[in-house]
Amino acid sequence: MRSSAVTLLVIAKEPRPGRVKTRLTPPFTPEEAAALAEAALADTLDVVARTPAGRRVLVLDGAPGPWLPAGVEVVPQGRGGLDERLAAAFAGCDGPALLIGMDTPQVTPELLTVDFAECDAWFGPAADGGFWALGLAAPDPALLRGVPMSRPDTGAAQRRRLDGLRVRDLPLLRDVDTARDAAAVAGAAPGGRFATVLAELTAARR
């Protein structure tokens, strides 16, 4: 299956103070954490917009803002825990799909250009034990429902759900959860909005 036929899904929260990146506070204020979240989301969506795809879909908790680029559809997140919301995102696809979050603004179009010709799934492990990407040639919500989320073993549990499928692994990436994560991710993508906003906020504290 050619990458141009793949649906790219981004699951995200509207970057509002107090609702996103709460583990960045402290040292950052809720408003600063929201600014970092908005920058990360904008970087991620910019990469998605530049990646060959059949559809580009933002699965959003909240309302879209000026950070939404042209060509990206917006659909509301489903209800329930994160596993149910991820499952619902895949359920809305009628062909191969790759899902990522808003926490890895260092992604590139090359990383997201996946080919399902010789595999059934793609899996991107995260440094915190979770996963930053999951691609399915034949999206099956049952592969996600019941997977324990936001735990150090989430990635391992999700990877086990793919047993029996032909799986290809994407590189290990680091999510932005803490201030230390933010510095590392900005260093990996120094030219992005996220790195710029982090540098501005850090400079203002000196």
The domain that contains 77 carries what CATH number? Answer: 3.90.550.10
- Stretches in the chain below the pLDDT threshold 50: none
**Can the peptide bond before residue 27 be classed as cis, meaning omega within 30 degrees of 0?**
yes
CA 95, CA 46: separation in Å to the nearest integer? Answer: 23
The answer to whether residues 106 and 190 touch, using CB atoms and an 8 Å cutoff, is: no
Number of structural domains in the chain: 1
CA 173, CA 178: separation in Å to the nearest integer? Answer: 14
CA 12, CA 14: separation in Å to the nearest integer? Answer: 7
pLDDT in tens, 134-160: 999 999 999 999 999 999 999 999 999
For the chain, give percent helix, strand, coil, nearest 5.
35, 20, 45
Return the number of other C-beta atoms located less than 10 Å from residue 163's C-beta. Answer: 7
CA 15, CA 114: separation in Å to the nearest integer? Answer: 28
Domain coverage including residue 66: 3-204
- Closest to 114 measured CA to CA, from 189, 59, 53, 155: 53
Q: Quick one: 138 exposed, middle or buried, by C-beta within 10 A (0-12, 13-18, 19+)?
A: middle
pLDDT (0 to 100) of residue 3: 61
